[in-house]
Amino acid sequence: MFFQCGLSKLDNHSIHPDWCLTSDHMPLTIMIPIIEENLNSRKQSIIKDSKKEELFIKDIIASIRNLNTSNLSDIHYLEKTIDDFANIIDIIWVKNSKIINVTKHSKSW
């Protein structure tokens, strides 16, 4: 087995010549430290099938109906309409979602 020179994290190895029995190979054990890390993060979420999800969908539908699409004659107006719609969705998302802390104890699904 080869180790990277100066790699102190894997210096905790032992060769066991008395464990080889009839083999000409000597077993090697290595202690690899595993550090516990807390990787907490935050995200915004809407709970599925909740009242907030219902309101979010209704607000999106209303904003699509109210979107001014009468002047999409060139790319500039199209891009502005799309940007306006994206901003409206962001506002509706923030209004209906809540911040959730994701920790190592959170459900993976």
Does the pLDDT value for residue 30 go beyond 60?
Answer: yes
Residues 6 or more apart whose CB falls under 8 angstroms from that of 13 comprise 1, 3, 28, 29, 30, 31
**C-alpha span between 95 and 85 (Å, rounded):** 15
pLDDT attached to residue 6: 58
**C-alpha span between 12 and 32 (Å, rounded):** 7
Q: Which of 37-41, 44-48, 62-66 has the lowest mean pLDDT?
A: 37-41
Angle at 57 between CA 54 and CA 62, to 5 degrees: 125
47: its two tokens: 């709970």
Confidence band for 71, pLDDT divided at 50, 70 and 90: confident
**C-alpha span between 76 and 81 (Å, rounded):** 9
